[in-house]
Amino acid sequence: MERAFHLPQGAPERIRSAGFGGCTLATTELSAVQMRALLARLRASAPRSTAAERAATLARAARRFLDADDPLRRRAADALSALTGFSRPMIEDALPRVFTPLADPGALARAAGTAQPVVGLLGIVGAGNVLGVPLFKTALALAAGAACMVKPATGEPLLSVLFAQALSEADPELAAALAVVWWPGGAAGSAGCEAEFLSGVDSLIAYGSDGAIASLAPRVRRFVGHGHKLSIGIVRLDADADLRLLAAAAATDIALYDQLGCLSPQSLYTVGGDAESRGVFVDHLAAALDDLARRWPAGEASPSQALAIRRLRDEYEWRGLSGESVSLRTGAAGATWTLVDDPTCGFRPSPLHRTIFVRRLETLDALPRALGEWLPRVECIGMGPQVDRALSTLGIPRLAPLGCMQSPDLGWRQGGCDPMAGIIAGEAN
């Protein structure tokens, strides 16, 4: 049985099994006293090797997950599909996106390099089921010389544990500065452990809903919170580009992680072109989504999300029948994707699970007005050819080519924050 924990020293006193998605994992129960002792051990084990040596070790551990024959890579692929609900082929294609940035020791050393002091002990709280959410910050913290305590997400509690195992095999001394422990956040039985964790770390980086972020912020000394974000894509139809290739790239960003990540586009905006070229792009996008439905079978939506998708489909079917210039396309042979062709310029959140709005802008200058109150929520814009880099003046943290939206590098300024925010000692962010 795989574990939802990794402890650098000694075996835990209490182990029990718990269900996660379609898997059962071993978990450990730590009392407040045990958590306090664990944090003290981590703090005392802050890495003493050079930054270059730490980066090289971390990269060596990450490269194991790029080798399809490595036992840790196979264990990850075997378990993550049942844990997250994503298909096995999607997991296999997603793992290189997670680990390739971490497998470059030079890039890791540069990203983590700082003349400023770092915190002694960093806490990280994960969220959701997108693969490896805590891993970038874990690697940056260890490379910079901080110890790290990770609480992984219920939706994906495994990958940080397997990475910690790879690190312990590569360099036990560096791995002694890392612990990974899952517990049910907010549960009465975990209150003492959680309180000790929050009060014992020097800084906390947390991912989650806006409500979860707001509840954590007052409980720690230094805090960086990453709450609800969304992303969009832009396709210039008046550019000299292959619309079939652009549609395939956009479909990849939509389908990966079933559109559940903050870097997943919820709307695509076409700019320029005529009705014919727009129709060609929409046709190609529908075909690409169908192809990916076969390559990456979609996971099952929750009842509430399935109902929201059904209601959206009903709405647009009626609007089309009423004479509006909108149309709806859905997956063939039961493929669970939804394409809403709505050539107006607004924005509304998608119910996700591969539900994409294709909208239209007269010019790129109209984008801020189209997004309205949602503009501060936009984390990434996926771009086709000749999209103006002046979009960076909108304060969007990430601009990326379509097809690569969900493959950030270590320099990603998530939420507009410096990648080392929370790791560098100083004022709260």
Burial class (CB in 10 A: 0-12, 13-18, 19+), 42: buried
Q: What is the pLDDT of residue 113?
A: 87
Q: What is the pLDDT of residue 24?
A: 93
User: Distance between CA 31 and CA 55 in Å, rounded?
Assistant: 33
Give mean pLDDT, residues 175-187. Answer: 90
What is this structure's pTM?
A: 0.93
Q: Is the pLDDT of residue 429 over 70?
A: no
What digits encode the pLDDT tens for the residues 254-279? 999 999 999 999 999 999 888 899 99
Give mean pLDDT, residues 115-140. Answer: 93
In this prediction, what percent of the chain has a pLDDT beyond 90? 80
Model confidence band, residue 398 (pLDDT cutoffs 50, 70, 90): very high
User: Distance between CA 258 and CA 301 in Å, rounded?
Assistant: 9
User: Distance between CA 269 and CA 249 in Å, rounded?
Assistant: 14
In this prediction, what percent of the chain has a pLDDT beyond 70? 97
Kindly report the average pLDDT of the chain as a whole number: 92
E strands in 139-243 = 147-151, 178-181, 203-207, 223-226, 230-236
Tell me the torsion sign for CA atoms 12, 17, 22, 23: positive
Q: Is the pLDDT of residue 175 over 90?
A: yes
Residues 6+ apart with CB under 8 A from 416: 395, 397
Give mean pLDDT, residues 189-194. Answer: 84
Q: Is the pLDDT of residue 110 over 70?
A: yes
